[in-house]
Amino acid sequence: MAHQVKRFEIKGLDGISDNQISQHRDILYAGYVNKLNEIEEKLKASDRSKANQIYSEFRALKADETFALNGVILHELYFENLNVKSEKKPGGKLADMIARDFGSFEKWQEDFKACGMAARGWVILGLCLYDSKLHNYCLDTHHFNVPMCVTPVLVMDVYEHAYVIDYGVKRPPYIDAFMKNIDWSIAQKRLNQQ
């Protein structure tokens, strides 16, 4: 069954324009979904007997499958955790865990924003199932540096395509805008599912 483009109705964000969201969602994210479907279709006919670690069609398709799938999932998590009408800070269990694992919300925020400047692609606040702690992770691409046994709680896209329409190549004002539009109820929901 083919993957479908999910509709995220995001409008009126503080500091992130509707045009930026529309271009990002309707062109780039939709492209990942379409490419994932194309790769999965090609895998059905790929000759597995010629699989080889140096080069084979099967190897190339499997590597691209991971890239496309993670591109779809990370974008869906990113769009889902944006909402202008949300609380400015987390509450409940999430707030308690952030204070426990980072010292305070302000220290977590400082670390998360620094990750936003350091990462080439994504920042994930994730619950590590290995140590039962929250960590901020930097991902350079969709399929490298992805930690195992981590449940994403909050996802920020820091590729230039996430902010270039609004801010050119200036990442810091985009990160500040992202922080104002976090839907903490979604982050709490993701944490509660563990």
Residue-wise pLDDT tens digits, 27-86? 999 999 999 999 999 999 999 999 999 999 999 999 999 999 999 999 999 999 999 887
β pairing state of 133-139 and 150-157: unpaired
69 phi and psi angles, rounded to 5 deg: -60, -50
Mean pLDDT of the chain: 95
In the numeric block, the tokens 């050119």 are attached to: 168
Task: Supply the pTM of this predicted model.
Answer: 0.95
Name beta bridge partners: 141.
144
The CATH class of 92-192 is: alpha beta
* CATH code of domain 18-80: 1.10.287
**Which residues face 150 on adjacent strands?**
128
pLDDT per residue as tens digits for the range 4-16: 999 999 999 999 9
- CATH 1.10.287 residue ranges of the chain are 18-80
Residue 194 pLDDT exceeds 90: no
Roughly how many angstroms between the first and final C-alpha of the chain, as a whole number? 28
**Coil, strand or helix at 123:** strand
Give span(s): CATH 3.55.40.20, the chain.
Answer: 92-192
Calculate what percentage of the chain has a pLDDT beyond 70: 100
150: nearest Cα among 158, 160, 138, 162: 138
